[in-house]
């Protein structure tokens, strides 16, 4: 009879994957797919790019399994989401360097609610640009918290002490407000 792998921990699944059990990889994939995609979509903003990066994250997980040596307390999900936030953050930083940040697709003006849609897209672009201007860890913490990751999860993913997450989030929020005001102010000057 086929064993139900969904009850197994990530670490055990990684051990099994390291031993060549590809079905364990499928279980890990189904378990984390939505959240990894959610992080990446929030950072890069397009379905195609988020899906590509999601694939990259899971390919890295597969490679990681080959070198995985269980220590019992491995936090595989923290590793996975750390890779996802790093890839997503690097993507928006690179985009900012290539001066593509100002591209906002404008809907047909005949379309009902076109003005609101333009305003929404500009707001999304400004929020994303503000994130790209922040330190990586600050941006990652805010995105993770916005997705309802717990303080403990945020701490494990960002590699900080659990007790400092609240303070770091407050500082990150302040940093975001400053960056957003700069970006929005520049937009109004045009």
Partner 1 sequence: MNEIDSEYQDVLDQLSVLAPGVGDEPSPAKMALTQVTQRTHAQKRNPIDEFIRSISDTMNKRVLALGATAVLAIALLVGFPSVRAAAGDFLGLFRVEKFAPISVSPPAASHA
Residues contributing to the site for partner 1 (CB under 8 A): 22, 25-26, 29-30, 33-34, 37-38, 41-43, 45, 47, 50-51, 54-55, 58-59, 62-63, 66-67, 120, 123-124, 127-128, 131, 142-143, 145-146, 148, 150-151, 166, 169-170, 172-174, 176-177, 180
CA distance 75 to 12: 11
Spell out the alpha helix ranges (H) of the chain: 10-18, 22-44, 47-67, 76-97, 114-133, 136-146, 151-158, 165-189
Which pair of structure tokens corresponds to residue 55?
């694939």
8 vs 151 by CB, closer to partner 1: 151
48 vs 72 by CB, closer to partner 1: 48
Q: Nearest distance from residue 74's CB to partner 1, in Å?
A: 18
DSSP letter (8 states) at residue 108: P
Q: How many CA atoms lie within 13 A of 161 on its CB side?
A: 3
Q: Nearest distance from residue 34's CB to partner 1, in Å?
A: 7
Which residue's structure tokens are 């899906």? Answer: 51
Return the biggest CA–CA distance within the chain: 67
CA distance 46 to 40: 9
Q: Nearest distance from residue 136's CB to partner 1, in Å?
A: 16
CA distance 69 to 80: 16
69 vs 72 by CB, closer to partner 1: 69
Q: Nearest distance from residue 44's CB to partner 1, in Å?
A: 10
51 vs 74 by CB, closer to partner 1: 51
91 vs 143 by CB, closer to partner 1: 143
Q: Nearest distance from residue 72's CB to partner 1, in Å?
A: 24
């Amino acid at each position: 009879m086929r064993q139900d792998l969904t009850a197994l921990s990530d670490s055990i699944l990684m051990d099994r994957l390291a031993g060549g059990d590809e079905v364990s990889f499928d279980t890990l994939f189904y378990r984390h797919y939505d959240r990894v995609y959610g992080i990446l979509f929030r950072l890069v903003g397009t379905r195609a790019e988020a899906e590509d990066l999601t694939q990259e994250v899971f390919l890295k997980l597969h490679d990681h399994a080959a070198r995985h040596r269980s220590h019992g307390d491995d936090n595989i999900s923290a590793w996975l989401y750390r890779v996802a936030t790093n890839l997503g953050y690097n993507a928006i930083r690179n985009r900012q360097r290539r001066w593509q940040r100002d591209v906002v697709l404008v809907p047909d003006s005949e379309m009902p609610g076109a003005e609101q849609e333009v305003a929404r897209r500009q707001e999304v672009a400004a929020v994303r640009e503000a994130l790209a201007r922040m330190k990586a860890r600050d941006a990652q913490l805010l995105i993770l918290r916005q997705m309802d990751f717990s303080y403990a999860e945020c701490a494990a993913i960002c590699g900080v002490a659990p007790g400092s997450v609240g303070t770091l989030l407050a500082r990150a929020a302040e940093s975001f407000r400053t960056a957003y005001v700069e970006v929005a102010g520049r937009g109004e000057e045009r």
